[in-house]
Structure 1
Amino acid sequence: MAKWTPFPQPGLFAFDAATLRRQWPRLHAGDAEPLPADEAVLQAWALYHAGEFQRATEAGLAAGGAGITAANRAACMHATYLEKKEKARLDLFLEVVQRAEAQATADPRNANAWYLQAYALGRYSQGISVAKALAQGLGSRVRDALERVIALQPRHADAHIALGTFHAEVIDKVGALIGGMTYGARKEVGLRMFQEALRIHPGSAIGMVEYARGLLMLEGEPAQKDAARLYEQAVACKPQDAAEWLDVELARAELAD
């Protein structure tokens, strides 16, 4: 495995097993991942929350079982925020899709196996263009997986965010009529998904960022003030780990634009 781009603030967040256990409910308010009993899996998550995404991926894969979820989450975070080469980004997302599909086949009730499959496939779709992904049938796979996540775990805020983004991006790319008839995308459903995500996890910076983006895709110019307010709220969030720090920095960049 080639050396990955490091988290830009090394040492800013540090976790040991005890602190991670104490902070677990807050750190996993978005994905509702159960606290692992396996110490090796817990260590992979400690590396993830500290921003050691490559080491977290390696540790999670070595641990196996629930460690695959930590590995997939770390790989997705690195690919989304830190990987500069487009082919490497897309390859990482496809690797996550394959691992998460295998996880979901082995354990169909594993909500985060379905979620990370959908997340990675969604990011891959953005990379190749949403229109091209829809033509390849990837949109339906993303939607179906996210709907399954919510059925399995109704308090999965991150799945609500991602499903809101699905509805917004489809409508933005193909319009409300075709989006609704062909892909089941609905403006009101997309907005409701974002709102529900923030009800479940009010402190989610990425929820605020994606809601702002969704508003702009679905409502355009009239939503600019509401979107700016959401970006401001995201910037004001105090990140609890490396992943949240990257989310807040994304909000800062969006607000500056």
Structure 2
Amino acid sequence: MAATSQPFWRSLCLIVLCAISLQAHAARDDDSDDEMDEVTPEELQMQEIPVDERIFLEKWNEVPYKKSFFTYTDEQIREKWTHLMRGLKVPYPSAAYMKKNFEKYPFMKDGIVDWNGDYQVLETRSLQVWRLFFAGDFQKAREEGLKLGPMGEIPALFSQLMYAIYLTDRQSIKYMMLQDVANRAEIYFDVMAEAENDPEVAPIVASVKLGYAYAIARIAEESPVPIVVARRYIGKIKNSAEEIVEIMPEQPLAHAFRAGVDAGIMRRVGKFTGRMTYGARTTTVEESFSDALRLAPDIPIVNYEYANALIYMNRKRDLNEAISYLEKAMKIRPEFSMDALDVMYSYKRLQEVRLYALNFRSFRKFEKLRRKFSKKTDRNLTSVLSEPLTMDMLNNPENYVLPERN
């Protein structure tokens, strides 16, 4: 073997040994003896998912509702802003706000295209991007938002997140879009550092960091354990979650995300290894979701993520309570695209939970078959455009493989 390849193979051996150890501890928590997910050396060596730029040029899928339901005028956006932003707490992009903070933090005006310095014009353009996001015109929101610097990248990248998670047909495209969100958000980390302690700008910083962490968390939650270890996903996600809460303690989605991170760690490696190796604790999950629900009880994603967390921590023990939170999420009346898609996914997730409850003793077995199905078929299981998972799909994935992309 060539000397230059030895470090990689040494790393590969360590990763596999570590992953096997994690699976052994997880098995104790879940009474399961499933074998480890299969991964290739190429997958382990890849630290980031390559992004094919063609996915941004192709026409994106439409949302499964009339966009006119959530298409607001400038005046309506101003009136509804506080409620619409109850999760992220992003400040209204007024001309006065941008002028004041662009002067304090010049990085905030970097990358703005075709702007002559008129802040009133910039406010109008910003509202148009947010209008597209609220309505669910995600491709156009991304295109226009990326022309407006960091302020515009928030609705642009959250549009991309929503599309990747809920509207892409393929898992491979979902992963590329999520990786692109993480890449774009990470660019701002150094320049944003000076604004973290400024109450007026902290919500911008927290939202960019949340977009980054949420993107890689969504990749990690469906990736095999060896890949999660090799790419150091858990450390990146957990550290980001703590940072976001510290920067923006009044942001409900920050608390929900931190809680979801610890629950997600337990999902993948079990309570024992999650606590001993990564500091994931059930008390953190409960306390953080309590904070999120206190700050914003009517956000669908907070409710359905709490349902997921109960299952990840306690499997079937708290299944009825988990189902009650999914049902609560389904009943929330959405007022913009993100909430609408979260409500729709709550219904789909409820069907998966019932599938697990009726057909599986081992949660880890269910999860493994779910990942295997998605990998073999390239189907995005969080898409609200496709049918819920069934036993036939899990048992016969070869019948559901998507055709090769051109």
User: Structure 1 length as normaliser, TM-score?
Assistant: 0.95
Question: Residue 14 in 1 paired to residue 14 in 2?
Answer: no
CA contact (8 A) 1:130 1:170 kept: no
Percent identity of the aligned residues? Answer: 28
Shift of 1:133: 1.6
Shift of 1:39: 2.3
Secondary structure at 2:211's aligned position in 1? Answer: helix
C-alpha distance in 2 between matches for 1:215 and 1:135: 27
CA contact (8 A) 1:130 1:169 kept: no
| Residue equivalent to 2:88 | 31
Of residues 61, 65, 69, the one that matches 2:146 is 61
Question: Residue 83 in 1 paired to residue 140 in 2?
Answer: no
Secondary structure at 1:12's aligned position in 2? Answer: helix
C-alpha distance in 1 between matches for 2:217 and 2:63: 23
Question: For structure 1, which segment, 82-91 or 175-184, has the greater mean C-alpha deviation from structure 2 after superposition?
Answer: 175-184
Alignment of 1:1-257 (within 5 A): 1-10=57-66, 11-37=68-94, 38-108=123-193, 109=196, 110-129=205-224, 132-256=227-351, 257=354
Shift of 1:22: 0.9
For residue 173 of structure 2, what is the amino acid of its counterpart?
A: A
Distance 1:43 1:129, change over 3 A: farther
Query: Larger Rg: 1 or 2?
Result: 2
C-alpha distance in 1 between matches for 2:251 and 2:135: 22
C-alpha distance in 2 between matches for 1:98 and 1:76: 13
C-alpha distance in 1 between matches for 2:325 and 2:152: 33
C-alpha distance in 1 between matches for 2:342 and 2:83: 16
For residue 161 of structure 2, what is the amino acid of its counterpart?
A: C
C-alpha distance in 2 between matches for 1:185 and 1:157: 20
Q: Which is richer in helix? A: 1
CA contact (8 A) 2:334 2:343 kept: yes
Shift of 1:92: 0.8
Shift of 1:34: 1.1
Gap runs ≥5 in structure 2:
1-56, 95-122, 197-204, 355-406
Cα distance per residue 1:183-228 (max 9 Å; x no partner) = 1111111122112111111101111100001001111222011111
Instruction: Give the RMSD, CA atoms, in angstroms.
Output: 1.4
C-alpha distance in 1 between matches for 2:234 and 2:63: 30
C-alpha distance in 1 between matches for 2:325 and 2:76: 30
For residue 23 of structure 1, what is the amino acid of its counterpart?
A: K
CA contact (8 A) 2:241 2:261 kept: no
Structure 1 runs of 4+ aligned residues shifted over 6 Å read: none
User: Paired residues, what number?
Assistant: 257
CA contact (8 A) 1:171 1:218 kept: yes
Secondary structure at 1:107's aligned position in 2? Answer: helix
C-alpha distance in 1 between matches for 2:256 and 2:224: 19
Secondary structure at 1:15's aligned position in 2? Answer: coil
For residue 328 of structure 2, what is the amino acid of its counterpart?
A: Q
Secondary structure at 1:232's aligned position in 2? Answer: helix
C-alpha distance in 2 between matches for 1:79 and 1:230: 24
Secondary structure at 2:304's aligned position in 1? Answer: helix
